A and B are shown apart, each in its own frame.
Chain A
Amino acid sequence: MCLFQSVMNYLPKEVLEHVFDFLTSHHDRNAVSLVCESWYGVERFSREKVFIGNCYAVNPERLIDRFPRLRSLTLKGKPHFADFNLVPDGWGGHVYPWIEAMAKSGINLEELRLKRMVVSDESLELLAKSFPNFKSLVLVSCEGFTTDGLAAIASNCRLLRELDLQENEVDDRKGQWLSCFPESCTSLVSLNFACLKGEVNVAALERLVARCPNLRSLRLNHTVPVEVLQKILVRAPQLSDLGTGTFTHDPDSETYVKLKNAMKNCRSIRSLSGFLDVNGRCLPAIYPICTSLTSLNLSYAPGIFSNELIKLICHCKKIERLWILDTIGDKGLGVVANTCKELQELRVFPSDLYGVGNTAVTEEGLVAISAGCPKLNSILYFCQQMTNAALITVAKNCPNFIRFRLCTLNPIVPDAATNQPLDEGFGAIVQSCKRLTRLSVSGLLTDQLFLYIGMYAEQLEMLSIAFAGDSDKGMLYVLNGCKKLKKLEIRDSPFGNMALLSDMGKYETMRSLWMSSCEVTLGACKTLAEKMPRLNVEIINENEAGEDKASCDDRHRVEKMYLYRTLAGPRTDAPDFVWTL
């Protein structure tokens, strides 16, 4: 043993702890805990932040047992495809047992971040009353709570700094939850209630803003009128992140002038969103802050026409993150390419979800962006059509993609120019982008693409596949080739038992696998579940909830299967239609 190693062994625990303090990433901390027992011990007593990517992978008791000093917990519940209505209501992902367990064990919880979980009012009330130092609640894509639960948080969390509600389905009881913040609450740093549908007490809102000098981030919902926004901006010129409420008013009015002046005074705003109800002629009011904006989200503003968008973009030279609707058009994306040289992340959402209409972006817009924005590393792009040539050009222009998600509105559309599958185009992306960690593909795709993915996508952690591939080989290429794969989600693709069962051990190295409308049969799922006790293999069967499970034929194709590694065994809260094999 060399001198260094022996010294490390005799370092007092306090020193080790101090060293570990510098390790902030979960990945590093996890690695450190595996070195030896003594390091495991020191690490576990000093860990304050824990991230659990699948709430059913481990149970709350085990978490608390290992990390008694836990202060900040991040939990994710439902599988990603739940976002697109593929997971029936009532599947699970309840946070209550976690809060209950932590409350009972005297955990000093300060932060809770949840994604795709079911959060009841009871859980919020328990949370609010059990943790006196609670500071930060972030709920993303959650459901199950009402404004009553928010009232409990507001009333009881005396040290609350952050209440951030992103894209949740909240039952608005039209109560006075905002008024429940006591006069003594002056610690708010971040308040986001943009997803709430009901009115809030604007007088209470103004008073709250006035007494919280550290407020940096405020996102209003669509019921807050412009007059109130203007007053809030006057009281809080220190804001760095603003989400407007409604943005419709007469551009000739006094309010507009006041708003413009108030905006000019907000020199710290770097991030802007909202505009749910917007009159495009009112946009010039925000031009003064556009020059320093780094993040702009106009994806909920269908009321802004292409030419108005373009005028606005021309002012936004420092934008790094841009979320817009495809109403911007290829031409508008060309303007973005010429103006936004600092752009890192672009998301272009479809504006016409129900009509037959033609969306306004094609491969041209994407190519323009790739050519004009050298720092681009993350993209979500909904488009009408795509070509291999365009994707190959994009791959050449932007080798730095970390996330690449392309969605053609027709899921199996071929190359618009050659009618060929889009294998070569996506293949170029994975070959060129060596740091790619997340990929979603669409369009006409064969097994060839998956061969490329298996060969080149060495850093890939998450892959989403829909209506693609020809045979089991496709899925096998991916499972064999992508060593860092954590999440694989597949729908409507011809992958079956052979692919599923070829390397069962692989699934213990991954967080989860979702397969729906594929060729996998019940028998194969049973085999997998039997051989791999540390996986939960769930069959989600909405139609046959009442049927006797024993009579189900093993040769039947399984409509929806979700499997994940777990230390907690089969879950106890599964509803009728979920069958854990």
Chain B
Amino acid sequence: MPADLNLRLGLPGSDQTDVDAAKSNKRASPEKAEDTASNGVPAAKSADDHETAPAPKAQIVGWPPVKSYRKSTAAAVKKAEAESGMYVKVSMDGAPYLRKIDIKLYNGYSHLLTALEDMFKLSIEREGYKGSEYAPAYEDKDGDLMLVGDVPWEMFMSSCKRLRIMRGADARGLGCAQ
């Protein structure tokens, strides 16, 4: 039995179990969210802790109140993005033309680098740049040139706009963070 007897209402899943009793006619949200929320404070800013997420939106019919047309359009856009593949250009320093690959086909950096090695018939540096090999870099959505391998694979997939296989003086000091 909670220490305070007040029917103080907090977020679902907070310590006051009498919330549910008082609001038993309310649908879905409080009961179902009990599992996920672990404290009474809305988790707007703490992105890391899944436990403090707000009530699962998809479980209440018609909430949040967004027109079904809008929902289906958003879903269609997401689906199109998922199906369309993520083709990015790959340039290699010194090569006369570029190639294109679908990043979605690869399940990780190792897989990607192996494929690039295969495609360009070269060997990509993985431990540290020694001057004779190639280093893989990519252009992200802000237009910056980044070393491949620093960020989690999923993040890389969504931010990589273009790949560039560098060699020579440009790549000095780089090494794949694999």
Given contacts A83-B65, A353-B57, A362-B44, contact A276 B11 (CB under 8 A): no
The listed residue with most A CB atoms (<10 A of its CB), out of B42, B66, B68, is B42
Cβ-defined contact, A302 with B74, below 8 A: yes
Identify the stretch in B23-31, B118-126, B129-137, B165-173 within 8 Å (CB) of chain A at 4 or more residues.
B23-31
Q: Which residues of B contact A494 (CB under 8 A)?
A: 25-26
A to B contact number (C-beta, < 8 Å): 132
Nearest-neighbor residue (CB-CB) of B28 within chain A: A492
- Determine which of A141, A356, A362, A385 lies in contact with B50 in the assembled complex, contact meaning CB atoms within 8 Å: A356
Given contacts A84-B62, A382-B64, A517-B27, contact A444 B73 (CB under 8 A): no
- Determine which of A141, A353, A414 lies in contact with B10 in the assembled complex, contact meaning CB atoms within 8 Å: A414
- Determine which of B9, B30, B45, B71 lies in contact with A414 in the assembled complex, contact meaning CB atoms within 8 Å: B9
* Size of A's binding interface in residues, CB under 8 A: 54
- Determine which of B10, B58, B69 lies in contact with A167 in the assembled complex, contact meaning CB atoms within 8 Å: B69
Q: Which residues of A contact B75 (CB under 8 A)?
A: 353-354
Does A421 sit at the interface, judged by CB under 8 A? yes
- Given A414-B10, A491-B62, 12 additional A-B pairs, CB 8 A: A86-B61, A167-B69, A169-B72, A302-B78, A353-B64, A356-B36, A356-B50, A362-B44, A411-B60, A444-B9, A464-B65, A518-B25
Does A300 sit at the interface, judged by CB under 8 A? yes
Question: Residues of B with Cβ closer than 8 Å to A?
Answer: 8-12, 23, 25-27, 29-30, 33, 36, 40-45, 47, 50, 53-58, 60-78, 80, 141-143
Encoded as 1 (CB less than 8 Å from any B CB) or 0, chain A from 412 to 448 comes to 1110100101000000000000000000100010000
CA distance A410 to B30 in the complex (A): 10
- Determine which of B33, B54, B65, B142 lies in contact with A466 in the assembled complex, contact meaning CB atoms within 8 Å: B65
Provide the main secondary structure of the chain A interface.
Answer: loop
Q: Which residues of B contact A444 (CB under 8 A)?
A: 9
Cβ-defined contact, A410 with B25, below 8 A: no
Does A538 sit at the interface, judged by CB under 8 A? no
Q: Which residues of B contact A411 (CB under 8 A)?
A: 29, 55, 60, 63
Cβ-defined contact, B69 with A492, below 8 A: no
The listed residue with most B CB atoms (<10 A of its CB), out of A86, A141, A354, is A354
Cβ-defined contact, B68 with A410, below 8 A: no
Within the complex, what minimum Cβ distance (angstroms) separates A140 from chain B? 10
A-B residue pairs in contact (CB < 8 Å), sample of 16 = A81-B62, A141-B67, A167-B67, A168-B69, A169-B69, A354-B58, A358-B45, A358-B53, A362-B44, A385-B42, A409-B55, A410-B11, A410-B42, A414-B10, A467-B29, A491-B62
